Each structure stands twice: as structure tokens, then as C-alpha cells.
């Protein structure tokens, strides 16, 4: 099973009579094979999150197609989308915005299981404790509310939720940027451990090239909606070929996209709950963070 985005474009209509359309993504392609981590890097407004949401089926593309297990998702029926959701899950930027604060931690972690009718109440409780153990937090958190949990713990809870259906693929959209630097290393090590022990494939989206270097087998660089470079991590860090990539690696100030080139904030997707804009059934968004009591 391979997850492929082929020649994806996304255009958002301008707001107001005179507003121009925004080309958030321009013929971008990527391929994520089982067990592989692909790092997608670029500055804010480059289209990374929009591409991620299209890959997840949360936004429809204007052009191109997402292919999973050799079938375009545009041809999926309800049962196909259910299978896709079992296999492809997401970890978003800020769990304080992407998780449901009205629920306790056990309800948050087991919600995907309830949505898909997996197990009875006792079995789901056991599974929730197992998942918290996998992300290295105490099962004592199960009875707590998100407001009573630290940011690092809450991101780990969100990762546990993403793992509830035992997916093969995780799309991690800036999962560290809402965390303190002191917490980030623990999450990176957790993701590495999960990849190695569970054979997860990950699309890891970040503006931090140091973290991407630590995690990724392959690196894609996105600028103004386009993939401008694609290379193995070893080749990329030995010497990127595109001038923009060299600016990023050299830690110099690459030019920010102009306001006209940026996607609308709600379309490009930063932090926050994703609102589904098309038919496929899905669990609510998921997210990720650090060790706890």
C-alpha cells in the first residue's frame, strides 16, 4: 500500500468582487511508501498544510488526484473511506485546539474506536491504557480533562488517539511548533520509536530543517505552492540543488510570499480543528506532545 499525491493543485476563490483567486498548491506530487518518513519543508504560507489536508481527504483538490492502494480517492465510496481512515491518520499542530475539551482523556483516545464500532466499553478502556503506554504517559491521565494536562502530555495523548485504529500512515502537520523547545526532543524521539516499532510511514511537515533531518528518509521543499526540490535526506543535506533550499539550509532569510500569494488563513490551515468540506466519513482531527506523570 502506497499513499500518492499526483499533480495536486488547489485554487481558492478570492473574497470580494475584485479579489484574485489564490493558487495555494501548484501541481505538487509526493509519494509515501510503507515505513518511510518524508519531510515536507517550507515557510509559512508555502502551501504545506493545504497539501496535507488534500492528502488526508479533508479538502478536495482543484486538480490532480490522491491515490491510495492504487485507487484514486475521488472514486472512493463510504466503505473505501472507512478503510482509508483506518490506515491514514493525522497529528495536527496544537492539541489544545484540535482535541475536544468537553471529553476526558479516555473518551478522546477511544473516540475513533467508538466511531468505527471497535470493541466494547471494557475493551476500549484496555486499549486506551495500552495506547497511553505506547506514547509514554501514565494511564492515570485517562480520567483527566485536557485542561488538567500539560501541553507535552496532551500532544502525546493526541498521538495515542491517532494510533487508536492501528494506522499504517501518519500525516504530522507541524506537530512540534506549539510546544516548548524542551518538550520537542521527547516528541521527536517518540515518533522515531513508533516508526521503528510499528513500521509507520510518516509525512512530517515542518519549517525546522534540523528536526526534519533527524526524522526523514526523503525531503521535499515547498515554495509558493510548488515542490521545488525532492531528494533523499542524505543527498539534500549534502548539498541542496535549488537556491531556495540552499537559503533554508543555510539558515538565511528566504523571502516570504507576498500577501497575494498566501492562501487564506482558514484555507491554508494553521492550528485548529479541521472542518470537513466533502463527503468521506472521518474521525475528528488528531494531534501530538511530551512525557507526563
Tens of pLDDT along 204-252?
999 889 899 989 999 999 999 999 999 999 999 999 999 999 988 885 4
Mention every residue, 6+ apart, whose C-beta is less than 8 A from residue 214: 188, 192
pTM here? 0.82
Cβ(91)–Cβ(175) under 8 Å? yes
Tens of pLDDT along 131-145?
999 999 999 999 999
Query: Is pLDDT above 50 for 40?
Result: yes
Average pLDDT of the residues in 154-167: 95
Q: What domains can be seen in the chain, in order of their start residue?
A: 3-12+20-268 (3.40.50.300)
d(CA 84, CA 57): 9
Average pLDDT of the residues in 167-189: 91
DSSP track, the chain: --EEEEEEEEEEPPSSTTPPPEEEEEEEEEEE-TT-EEEEE--TTSSHHHHHHHHTTSS--SEEEEEETTEEGGG--HHHHHHHHHHEEEEBS-HHHHS-TTS-HHHHHHHHHHHTT-S-HHHHHHHHHHHHHHTT--GGGGGS-GGGS-HHHHHHHHHHHHHTT--SEEEEESTTTTS-HHHHHHHHHHHHHHHHHH--EEEEEES-HHHHHHH-SEEEEEETTEEEEEEEHHHHHH---SHHHHHHHTT--PPPPPTTTSPPHHHH--SSPPPP-SSS--PPP-B------
Average pLDDT of the residues in 30-36: 95
Query: Is pLDDT above 60 for 259?
Result: no
Dihedral sign from CA coordinates of 239, 175, 92, 199: positive
Give CA 268 to chain center in angstroms.
Answer: 13
% the chain with pLDDT above 70: 84
Tens of pLDDT along 60-92?
999 999 999 999 999 999 999 999 999 999 999
Amino acid at each position: 500500500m502506497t499513499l500518492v499525491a499526483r499533480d495536486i493543485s488547489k485554487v481558492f476563490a478570492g473574497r470580494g468582487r475584485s479579489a484574485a483567486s489564490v493558487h495555494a498548491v501548484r501541481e505538487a506530487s509526493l509519494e509515501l511508501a510503507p515505513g518511510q518518513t518524508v519531510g515536507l519543508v517550507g515557510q509559512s504560507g508555502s502551501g504545506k498544510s493545504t497539501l496535507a489536508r488534500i492528502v488526508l481527504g479533508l479538502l478536495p483538490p482543484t486538480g490532480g488526484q490522491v491515490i491510495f492502494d492504487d485507487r484514486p480517492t475521488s472514486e472512493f465510496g463510504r466503505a473505501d473511506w472507512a478503510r482509508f481512515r483506518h490506515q491514514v491518520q493525522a497529528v495536527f499542530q496544537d492539541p489544545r485546539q484540535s482535541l475536544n475539551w468537553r471529553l476526558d482523556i479516555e473518551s478522546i483516545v477511544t473516540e475513533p474506536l467508538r466511531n468505527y464500532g471497535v470493541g466494547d466499553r471494557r475493551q476500549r478502556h484496555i486499549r486506551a491504557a495500552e495506547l497511553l503506554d505506547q506514547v509514554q504517559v501514565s494511564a492515570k491521565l485517562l480520567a483527566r480533562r485536557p485542561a488538567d494536562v500539560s501541553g507535552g502530555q496532551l500532544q502525546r495523548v493526541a498521538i495515542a488517539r491517532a494510533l487508536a485504529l492501528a494506522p499504517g500512515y501518519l500525516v504530522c502537520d507541524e506537530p512540534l511548533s506549539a510546544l516548548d523547545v524542551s518538550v520537542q526532543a521527547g516528541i521527536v524521539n517518540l515518533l522515531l520509536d513508533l516508526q521503528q516499532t510499528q513500521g509507520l510511514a510518516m509525512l512530517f511537515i515542518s519549517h525546522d530543517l534540523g528536526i526534519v533531518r533527524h526524522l526523514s528518509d526523503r525531503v521535499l521543499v515547498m515554495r509558493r505552492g510548488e515542490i521545488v526540490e525532492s531528494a533523499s535526506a542524505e543527498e539534500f543535506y549534502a548539498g541542496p540543488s535549488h537556491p531556495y533550499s540552499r537559503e533554508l539550509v543555510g539558515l538565511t532569510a528566504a523571502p516570504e510570499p507576498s500577501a497575494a500569494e498566501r492562501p487564506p488563513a482558514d484555507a491554508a490551515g494553521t492550528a485548529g480543528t479541521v472542518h470537513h468540506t466533502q463527503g468521506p466519513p472521518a474521525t475528528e482531527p488528531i494531534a501530538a506532545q511530551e512525557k507526563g506523570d
